Chains A and B, each alone.
Chain A
């Protein structure tokens, strides 16, 4: 059985070079690092929106990109559920139209039924006809997630999914995202620069710094043997304040 996700590529933008390699089993992979470390750019490469100079990206048995083999699937063939950082809802479409749009035939009855089920699943029933400007940050995020699922993705890329959500909601959404991954059983890759969130969510953690991967492994491994000073400090803290619970 192939690894769920195997990623290796190099991409240069002027002074900045992003040169990373990591692989993960099915589950939640968290890319953690400061802003500008290359996490969002990694997503663009994974989704096929940016073409790297070299490397290889494989999802399960499907080769998405391989420089040497000359393989480069266009974004629309990568079966990805991509949640953009600012959700990128279409402002001229209602919540329901946004979700329907991800169906191959948005106006079909089938698309309507699926959109309705998704609206219910994400507690958006009363908001189907609302346009994005009338929705709160949390509601927009749920619409964007529903739209990503409408596409029946084989994997999910969530770029800072909790950044537009207020603190009170974050914990419940974390739990929902975890549950979602378990029920869909597809790889879910998540970007965050919030360390607490990273450890709370990750089955597998990839640490980014300045365009490189400095460490990758399970949260336990990384906590036990941190190579990153920020994490070491945080891990130390966590020990001092022992009793904080991570979902190991």
Chain B
């Protein structure tokens, strides 16, 4: 029971942190991709989306290359601060972020692109800046898609296993999220614990998606 609660708490911390990051970065990227043409747009789009099709272990491997103590980014950070994302819950959150980001970007980008172009142009003729139009017209109208993207990303982050294992390891109480704890319990023959955690994870995921669907049900159409 103790293990289950610890793992559940850790899972929520990791998934919520990843979702907050995704809410900011994913929405900005989705808006950029939906509203602008620039050099390297397709490359950026492909880079964001590739974790959808790569095995999570490969994503985790790249994260270690990037963020490990010897990593391109992680090396300088480690030498400067003595801190590294490897084997920490923050590392797990970053893994969840990278793996779940494409869901947010793809779903919210589609919603932003679906906003009637007339309304965007009209807002400009009414004297509104691009920021005002984004904030008062586009985002409210794309709200359902943006929330759907966030919910899917949260659910995906909650279920993240492979990339987390690669960069954060499987340290009970520190980086063992529910999916990792289920694996450990199952390996150790603790079927009751594995079953309890599997049911809990299923219940949380299903509830999140169910309530998100109800909450985002169309209000003005």
Chain A residues engaging chain B, CB cutoff 8 angstroms: 44, 47-49, 74-80, 82, 84, 86, 88, 90-92, 101-102, 104, 131, 133, 147, 151
Question: Cβ of B127: which chain A residues have Cβ within 8 Å of it?
Answer: 76-77, 79, 102, 104, 151
**A84-B118, A92-B140, A92-B141 given as contacts; is B221 within 8 A of A75 (CB)?**
no
Partner of B137 from the list A49, A79, A90 (CB cut-off 8 Å) is A90
Cα(A91)–Cα(B143), bound, Å: 13
* Cβ-closest chain A residue relative to B128: A76
Q: Are B220 and A86 in contact (CB under 8 A)?
A: no
Cα(A10)–Cα(B32), bound, Å: 31
* Cβ-closest chain B residue relative to A106: B136
Cα(A88)–Cα(B115), bound, Å: 12
Question: How many cross-chain pairs have Cβ atoms below 8 Å apart between A and B?
Answer: 53
Partner of A76 from the list B126, B137, B140 (CB cut-off 8 Å) is B126
Asked if B191 is an interface residue, CB under 8 A from chain A, the answer is no
Asked if B124 is an interface residue, CB under 8 A from chain A, the answer is yes
Cα(A48)–Cα(B140), bound, Å: 25
Question: Cβ of B140: which chain A residues have Cβ within 8 Å of it?
Answer: 92
* Cβ-closest chain A residue relative to B137: A90
Cα(A176)–Cα(B121), bound, Å: 26
Asked if B116 is an interface residue, CB under 8 A from chain A, the answer is yes
Chain B residues engaging chain A, CB cutoff 8 angstroms: 116, 118-119, 121-129, 136-137, 140-141, 220-221
* Cβ-closest chain A residue relative to B126: A102
Nearest Cβ in chain B — how far from A160, in angstroms?
A: 13
Q: Are B125 and A90 in contact (CB under 8 A)?
A: no
Cα(A86)–Cα(B125), bound, Å: 15
Nearest Cβ in chain B — how far from A108, in angstroms?
A: 14
Partner of B116 from the list A49, A75, A88 (CB cut-off 8 Å) is A88
Q: Are B119 and A90 in contact (CB under 8 A)?
A: yes
Partner of B124 from the list A75, A131, A133 (CB cut-off 8 Å) is A75
Cα(A46)–Cα(B141), bound, Å: 27
Cα(A147)–Cα(B124), bound, Å: 13
Nearest Cβ in chain A — how far from B199, in angstroms?
A: 39
Q: Are A101 and B136 in contact (CB under 8 A)?
A: yes
Q: Are A82 and B122 in contact (CB under 8 A)?
A: yes
Q: Are A131 and B121 in contact (CB under 8 A)?
A: no
Closest A-B pairs by Cβ, 7 of them: A75-B124, A82-B125, A88-B118, A102-B126, A76-B127, A88-B122, A75-B125
Between B119, B124, B140, the greatest number of chain A beta carbons within 10 A of the residue's beta carbon is seen for B124
Q: Are B220 and A151 in contact (CB under 8 A)?
A: no
* Cβ-closest chain B residue relative to A85: B118
Question: Cβ of A48: which chain B residues have Cβ within 8 Å of it?
Answer: 124-125
* Cβ-closest chain A residue relative to B140: A92
Question: Cβ of A101: which chain B residues have Cβ within 8 Å of it?
Answer: 123, 126, 128, 136
Q: Are B221 and A147 in contact (CB under 8 A)?
A: no
**A90-B137, A131-B220 given as contacts; is B119 within 8 A of A76 (CB)?**
no
* Cβ-closest chain B residue relative to A50: B121
